[in-house]
Structure 1
Amino acid sequence: MCGIAGFLGAAHEPAAWPETIRTMLTAIGHRGPDAMGHMLDDRAALGTARLSIIDIASGIQPMGDPSGRYWLAYNGEVYNYLELRAELEAAGCVFETRSDTEVVLQAWLHWGAACLPRFNGGFAFALYDRASGRLVLARDRYGKRPLFYLRRGGEFYFASEMKSFFAVPGFTFEQDAEQLASILACWTPLPDQTGFRGIDSLPMGEWMSVENDTVNRHRYEALSFDTAESVASEAEALELIRERLRASVALRLRSDVEVGVYLSGGVDSAITALLAQRESRHALSTFSVAFEDAAFDESPQQREMADFLGSRHQALTISHGDIASALPDAVFHAEVPAFRCAFVPMYLLSRLTRDAGIKVILSGEGADEAFLGYDLFKEVLLRRAWNHLGEDVRRDRLGRLYPHLAHYGPQEIAALTGLYQQFAEERMPGLFSHEMRFQNGRFAARLLRDAGDPFAAISRLVAGAPGYGAMSDIHKAQWLEYRTLLAGYLLSTQGERMSLAHGVENRCPFLDPAVVAAASATNLRFDDGVEEKRLLRLAFADELPASIVTKRKFPYRAPDSAAFASARPDYLEALLSESELTKLPFLDAKFAKRLTDKVLNRPAGEIGTKEDQCFVFLLSIALLDRYFVRREGAGLTRVVPPQSRAIDLRGKPLAA
């Protein structure tokens, strides 16, 4: 796991290039605090801030091939690198290190872009050909690792985090109102969005080439839930799930350093921890977030699972004040607007994890998307069937829909009846599954003076997706979850960006392609979708505590606006006074001020979910304006790796 950065065809004075690439890397030194290195020639620079996980001594970057023609800056891990290495060696490739970095380099040189679907892991890389001047960028199929790029005339810059672009001469950050409208409405950036004008994100499952001022993007992996898997019985389905998850966890334990596990209190992380304990050569270390506010706390289940495993467990108890205090730092690392505060405790937990000496962590992300664990999927099935059901059946299905809600009775069911009647037919082409969710997004989009159609971008996304129109309602819902909230928030803002803020690599066993394929082969064939993740629970029912297996999903959340209403951090007035809000030209300052006054001065019980969400969006947008646009107050700790490797090839021709 690392941070990468670089440029091609930079127009500023070549004598300043070494300082530019070093500054770009220093800005993301927290991602790779173990070593820093860069390569320069007459046209390009590539650099890496390295977090040493595999082949600590020899896997130094950027890495060149023996001829010195090809150079790789690589972020992430390809977990099946040993199997790929064996294939390459059989084809005649010779290796000088034990690293997966060299496997990625040799794989591209041997197979070209056809290597990308072979990679099982989370990665983003830049590969440069000194002879042709061609730069290739690529990103993993699920968007686990970020990769941003900036084009300015004939100049091209790339980096793992946008803060590297502070080093680009003459570039200034500007929030993009059109993108912000989409982010507010959809709760998350879409695959190519960043929220800033002129900066793009390479979408998951894509690679791009940059050569002679020409940029071409290619998709190598289309998200699909069709599978050739054939499962004849429920017993066979359960065994398939067990075997695929065992293999996935074993792959993700490949490391030259200890691997820990995040325990949430739910079944996904419990399964991950159970399998990790069995496969790991280390005594298992586990880590959890607990909350002073009991409405969000799952610490009893976390402790129960840790005791069951006998793991070395550490828990971090989070208060309202902790969230209010840490939000600015967390937003600076997230770099995009956020709709809730759940990412802030993960920022604090990763610091605890690194302080405990753990550099790699396993977590349960991706399980709900693969095994239909969200309420969303049950809602879709019920809404689509609504007009064909009798009133008694409707009430019964609604009554079983949200078992995790403490106050859910006849009054709530009656209110939902009208809502489901309203959303029983598709209004937004291709977006039926998410139309109810988007209502909160419509409210948040009112923060902008002219939001236009905030759903235009996501409508274009689904309209242009091959095969999307022919998918079932459930598969469309899955597709949207994978391509939007999972990649744009859960794996990034709440996941990778918070863990790498403290130099911790996160790995997700449920996002193994073979696990996703197994889920696709069994979902809805042996599961009616009413009891979430029934097959996954059954697969491990005899191996886990019954209370963990039978516990219904308790969505991970953290206090949102209530944290700021009670803690009242000093920065609130500096960010959210009407005079400050008017400095954001795209913002409806009067609406924002009314929202702020209500959230901070009314009892928490009077603040609805949509207002909670809107307030956190507003606060994060204001912080991003301060740190990135105005460049004020970003006095956060920069990690400068202690070792530096510089390879200056300017003026040196390739060997004959």
Structure 2
Amino acid sequence: MCGIAGIFHCGTPKPVDPERVRGMTDALAHRGPDGSGVWTAHGVGLGHRRLSIIDLEGSPQPMHSVDGRAVIVFNGEIYNYRELRRELEKDGARFRTDGDTETILAAWQRWGTGCLDRLDGMFAFALYDCDRRSLFLARDRFGVKPLFTAMLSDGSLAFASELKGLLAHPLTRREVDPLAVEDYMTWGYVPDHRSILAGVEKLPSGHFRLLEHQRDPAPPRQWWDISFTERARGRPDDLSAELLHHLRAGVSSRMVADVPLGAFLSGGVDSSSVVALMDEADRAPVTTCSIGFDVAEVDETGHARRIAALFGTRHHERTVAADGIAEVDRLVEIFDEPFADASALPTLQVCRLAREHVTVALSGDGADEAFAGYRRQVFHRREEQLRSVLPSALRSPLFGTLGRIWPKADWAPRPLRARSTFQALAEDGAVGYARALAVIPSELRDRLFGEGMQRARGDYRAEQALIETMIETPGRSGLDAAQYADLKFWLPGDILTKIDRTSMAVGLEAREPLLDHRLVQFAASLPEGLRIRGMQGKWLLKRTMERYLPNDILYRPKQGFVVPLAQWFRGDLAGEARRVVHSERLLQSGWFDRTALADLAEKHISGRSDNGRVLWQLLMLEKSLARLDLAR
């Protein structure tokens, strides 16, 4: 795992200062503490920071092809590189190293952009072809590895693994995109179709760019997509056997490393499944790491210990205070852009613990998106069934009225919090799912935003991008569309961003075996009744893992990392809540209404409503803007 950065002149080639590229890669030193390198030629410069995982001494970067006609900087891992290498050697390719980086160079020279279809892995890379005088930028299928780009005023394109790499270049604009603030306040993160900085873009997952000197910059082109259009046929037992084959392949392929390897273990279905299959694949005990909390209601270490004992792992755990607010400034430094998924706090802690024992850790990320494990997906399927029997002319007035008059009732038991369900049922499926996924609904944003933001965003609403993604889904049903949106929108923007930044911050490589693309494509082909049965999500996955895991682990309610935001902002952080809603950095921007923010904080502190997540978003936004030295 590494950090990459570079500069490419799209217009007339100009000399590239190697020290400028070095400054960009130095800003990414945490991603690659084991080595660094810079290469420049007329019109191009490539930089690299290395975390050694495979071929520890023999694969320095930037790396040249054997014939010297291509140069690459690469962040990620190619799990099938040995098979590719053998195929390329049969065609006459020669290799000087034992790693995966050189395999990409040879694959490019053999297949051009078609090489991407043959790569099984997580990656973002920049490859300069000296003969074609072109720069090839590519990102993996799901967006596990990030890549930021920016067109600069001198006609060059700069790229980097993280925003801080671009900010090390003096020509990067430091102007906030107000539409990114609208996106952030809606979702709690800045999705991949936008950046907090105007003029900065993220290469979308499953896309590449091919740039040439003295030509206008080519836009991103999609090279891979997930499809829900086909349905697998067969008995559940046969499909379960096929699923197990894919699960084993995904896990075993990601266990290749020349450094110590382990796994995150929460005691939930996904991480426990990964550990079970790791134990099956290797005689040596698996190294597992868990984080516990000093509040019993949110502590899962008992479940993790049980799985560790079942498989005889070398288990490590650490109990941390559930108030890990002391880490907020560190999170702001790690993420650059505002990022308000509070589970990043315990994720950073478990990455730190893992790094004390291993250099690579396997996670269970991706299973909820691929197999329909989120409650919102289960409810969405039920809502879609109701929409199919009730015409819109009846649904809209009935449920729209109920949604308006039903109390918000944050304090009530979950079954009585029906307002959001009624509001969703009044809309079509895509609009309803966007409402379910939004952290701050449009009505509340309208109250919080000031006149400046109202003018800046115009008719734009953050939900529209997700709605369009669902409408364009290659699939058959509303559940297909919801899962597709989660895989294309939520997964890269939130989940994979969280694990990439927190793991890289401590020099740890995280791998996601449940995001093997063949496994995910198989999951997308499952009939809906094998994804969700009754109110049970991930049904076939859980049934398949019954041979390995106890039922009370497989079928217990989903928990995840829980952070007590509401309690924080009514307790020790009440003063911080009041401070942030009166922050001049936020208020002088014109984005927010002063009175509405103050009212939001006081209602929360007094217990009249639960605005903990909104206050957390405001806090992370204000601190991120301060770190970037941005106001508007």
TM-score (norm 1): 0.85
**Structure-1 separation of matches of 2:464 and 2:103:** 39
Aligned pair count reads: 604
**Structure-2 separation of matches of 1:199 and 1:453:** 21
Shift, 1:588, TM fit: 3.2
Q: 2:553 maps to which residue? A: 548
**The one of 200, 222, 228 aligned to 1:219:** 222
Are residues 421 and 432 of structure 1, via their aligned partners in 2, closer, same or farther at CA, if it must alter by over 3 Å?
closer
Q: Deviations over 1:248-302 (max 9, x none)?
A: 1000001111211001121110010111122236431111121222332211111
Q: Deviations over 1:563-598 (max 9, x none)?
A: 355444998787554434334343334433333444
Q: 2:515 maps to which residue? A: 511
Q: Secondary structure at the match of 2:528?
A: coil
Q: Secondary structure at the match of 2:436?
A: coil
**Structure-2 separation of matches of 1:510 and 1:447:** 39
Q: 2:115 maps to which residue? A: 115
Q: Is the 8 A contact 2:569 2:612 kept in 1?
A: no
Question: 451-460 or 302-311: which moved more?
Answer: 451-460
Shift, 1:77, TM fit: 0.6
Question: 100-109 or 529-538: which moved more?
Answer: 529-538
Q: Is the 8 A contact 2:387 2:425 kept in 1?
A: yes
Q: 2:297 maps to which residue? A: 295
The amino acid across from 1:629 in the alignment is D
Query: Are 2:192 and 1:191 equivalent residues in the alignment?
Result: yes
Q: Deviations over 1:161-212 (max 9, x none)?
A: 0101232124342221112102322343332212211110000000012222
Q: Secondary structure at the match of 1:127?
A: strand
Query: Are 2:571 and 1:586 equivalent residues in the alignment?
Result: no
**The one of 244, 247, 253 aligned to 1:245:** 247
The amino acid across from 2:128 in the alignment is Y
Q: 1:329 maps to which residue? A: 330
The amino acid across from 1:538 in the alignment is R
Q: 1:124 maps to which residue? A: 124
Q: Is the 8 A contact 2:59 2:99 kept in 1?
A: yes
Q: Secondary structure at the match of 2:547?
A: coil
Q: Is the 8 A contact 2:500 2:510 kept in 1?
A: yes
The correspondence of residues 526-545 of structure 1 with structure 2, limited to 5 A, is 526-530=530-534, 531-545=536-550
Q: 2:235 maps to which residue? A: 233
Q: Is the 8 A contact 2:362 2:513 kept in 1?
A: yes
**The one of 267, 274, 277 aligned to 1:275:** 277
**Structure-2 separation of matches of 1:241 and 1:210:** 40
Q: 2:59 maps to which residue? A: 59
Shift, 1:446, TM fit: 4.7
**Structure-1 separation of matches of 2:294 and 2:242:** 40
Are residues 387 and 3 of structure 1, via their aligned partners in 2, closer, same or farther at CA, if it must alter by over 3 Å?
closer
Q: Secondary structure at the match of 1:540?
A: helix
Q: Secondary structure at the match of 2:537?
A: coil
The amino acid across from 1:243 in the alignment is H
Shift, 1:516, TM fit: 1.0
Q: 2:606 maps to which residue? A: 602
Q: 1:500 maps to which residue? A: 504
Q: 1:285 maps to which residue? A: 287
**Structure-2 separation of matches of 1:411 and 1:24:** 50
**Structure-2 separation of matches of 1:629 and 1:408:** 36
Q: 1:82 maps to which residue? A: 82
Q: Is the 8 A contact 1:177 1:448 kept in 2?
A: no
**Structure-1 separation of matches of 2:22 and 2:13:** 15
Identity over aligned residues, as a percent? Answer: 29
Give the gaps of 5 or more residues in structure 1: 391-406, 632-656
Q: 2:9 maps to which residue? A: 9
Shift, 1:48, TM fit: 0.7
Shift, 1:386, TM fit: 2.6
Shift, 1:464, TM fit: 7.2
Are residues 172 and 520 of structure 1, via their aligned partners in 2, closer, same or farther at CA, if it must alter by over 3 Å?
closer
**Structure-2 separation of matches of 1:27 and 1:260:** 28
The amino acid across from 1:272 in the alignment is V
Q: Is the 8 A contact 1:12 1:169 kept in 2?
A: no
Q: 1:617 maps to which residue? A: 617
Q: Is the 8 A contact 2:173 2:199 kept in 1?
A: no
Q: Is the 8 A contact 1:185 1:445 kept in 2?
A: no
Q: 2:394 maps to which residue? A: none
Are residues 413 and 575 of structure 1, via their aligned partners in 2, closer, same or farther at CA, if it must alter by over 3 Å?
closer
Q: Is the 8 A contact 2:338 2:620 kept in 1?
A: yes
Q: 1:626 maps to which residue? A: 626
Give the gaps of 5 or more residues in structure 2: 391-408
**Structure-2 separation of matches of 1:549 and 1:470:** 28
**Structure-1 separation of matches of 2:578 and 2:426:** 44
The amino acid across from 1:207 in the alignment is F
**The one of 478, 487, 491 aligned to 2:492:** 487
Question: 246-255 or 550-559: which moved more?
Answer: 550-559
Q: Secondary structure at the match of 2:499?
A: helix
Q: Is the 8 A contact 1:324 1:564 kept in 2?
A: no
**Structure-1 separation of matches of 2:271 and 2:58:** 33
Query: Are 2:466 and 1:473 equivalent residues in the alignment?
Result: no
Q: Secondary structure at the match of 2:221?
A: strand
**The one of 310, 320, 325 aligned to 1:318:** 320
Shift, 1:557, TM fit: 2.5
**Structure-2 separation of matches of 1:470 and 1:284:** 38
Are residues 112 and 479 of structure 1, via their aligned partners in 2, closer, same or farther at CA, if it must alter by over 3 Å?
same
The amino acid across from 2:477 in the alignment is S
Q: 1:167 maps to which residue? A: 168
**Structure-2 separation of matches of 1:59 and 1:453:** 50
**Structure-2 separation of matches of 1:288 and 1:446:** 41
**Structure-1 separation of matches of 2:325 and 2:52:** 32
**Structure-2 separation of matches of 1:502 and 1:491:** 16
Are residues 602 and 282 of structure 1, via their aligned partners in 2, closer, same or farther at CA, if it must alter by over 3 Å?
farther
The amino acid across from 1:507 in the alignment is R
The amino acid across from 2:304 in the alignment is Q
The amino acid across from 1:263 in the alignment is L
Shift, 1:104, TM fit: 1.1
Shift, 1:436, TM fit: 3.0
Shift, 1:133, TM fit: 3.2
Are residues 190 and 236 of structure 1, via their aligned partners in 2, closer, same or farther at CA, if it must alter by over 3 Å?
same
**Structure-2 separation of matches of 1:256 and 1:575:** 47
The correspondence of residues 378-457 of structure 1 with structure 2, limited to 5 A, is 378-386=378-386, 412-416=414-418, 419-427=420-428, 430-438=430-438, 440-442=440-442, 443-444=444-445, 446-449=447-450, 450-451=453-454, 452=457, 456=461
Q: Deviations over 1:449-475 (max 9, x none)?
A: 224468645535654789527641011
Q: Secondary structure at the match of 2:77?
A: strand
The correspondence of residues 557-568 of structure 1 with structure 2, limited to 5 A, is 557-563=562-568, 565-568=570-573
Q: Is the 8 A contact 1:77 1:123 kept in 2?
A: yes
Q: Secondary structure at the match of 2:546?
A: coil
**Structure-2 separation of matches of 1:539 and 1:301:** 20
Q: 1:93 maps to which residue? A: 93
Q: Secondary structure at the match of 1:624?
A: helix
**Root-mean-square deviation over aligned CA pairs:** 3.0
**Structure-1 separation of matches of 2:288 and 2:360:** 11
Are residues 564 and 210 of structure 1, via their aligned partners in 2, closer, same or farther at CA, if it must alter by over 3 Å?
farther
Are residues 582 and 411 of structure 1, via their aligned partners in 2, closer, same or farther at CA, if it must alter by over 3 Å?
closer
Q: Is the 8 A contact 1:433 1:476 kept in 2?
A: no
**Structure-1 separation of matches of 2:65 and 2:614:** 50
Q: Is the 8 A contact 1:445 1:454 kept in 2?
A: no
Q: Secondary structure at the match of 1:440?
A: coil
Q: 2:33 maps to which residue? A: 33
Are residues 578 and 528 of structure 1, via their aligned partners in 2, closer, same or farther at CA, if it must alter by over 3 Å?
closer
Are residues 242 and 569 of structure 1, via their aligned partners in 2, closer, same or farther at CA, if it must alter by over 3 Å?
same
The amino acid across from 2:187 in the alignment is C
